[in-house]
Amino acid sequence: MSDHTAVITMIDVKPKPNRKAPHQIYLYKRADFDKLRDDLLSFSNRFLQRNPHPRSLEENWTQLKEALLRGIKGSIPMKMTKENQRLPWINRDIQKMIRQKACLCKKAKQSKCAGDWTRYTSSAEMPHRRCRLDPATTI
């Protein structure tokens, strides 16, 4: 008999992907800067007419910040980001092949022609083959 025994362990590992939380992005290309300029000019006139000196610095800063945010919300459109759910090894070329394959499948189903089915079956293997053969796109 030996005093060596094998240690058997079972590990259930499931990686957690790092997902970015959705956040807002301002679309400056579609912004109305003239409206923003007018809003901020009217705010500055009202702000100075109400004599900012007796108020505390914190109150003045809060009013300025709120006016800026109101102006930005009113004149610069924004959108929420989405989570990127693409697979990293599927690039633009492979995505194009997949779309072509789907188009050929639809055409073959509608026409029921043998020539369309052979074109579809030959194109159906291309994306898989491309993923396996191209080392630059595989992880």
Which tokens belong to 17?
């992907």
For 100-139, write each residue's pLDDT tens digit.
888 888 988 999 888 888 888 888 777 777 776 665 555 4
Model confidence at 2, pLDDT cuts 50, 70, 90, reads low
Strand partners, 25: 79
How far is 103 from 84, CA to CA, in rounded Å?
25
The closest of 10, 2, 70, 9 to 42, measured between CA atoms, is 70
> Is the CB of residue 131 less than 8 Å from the CB of residue 89?
yes
What's the pTM? 0.50
> Is the CB of residue 90 less than 8 Å from the CB of residue 138?
no
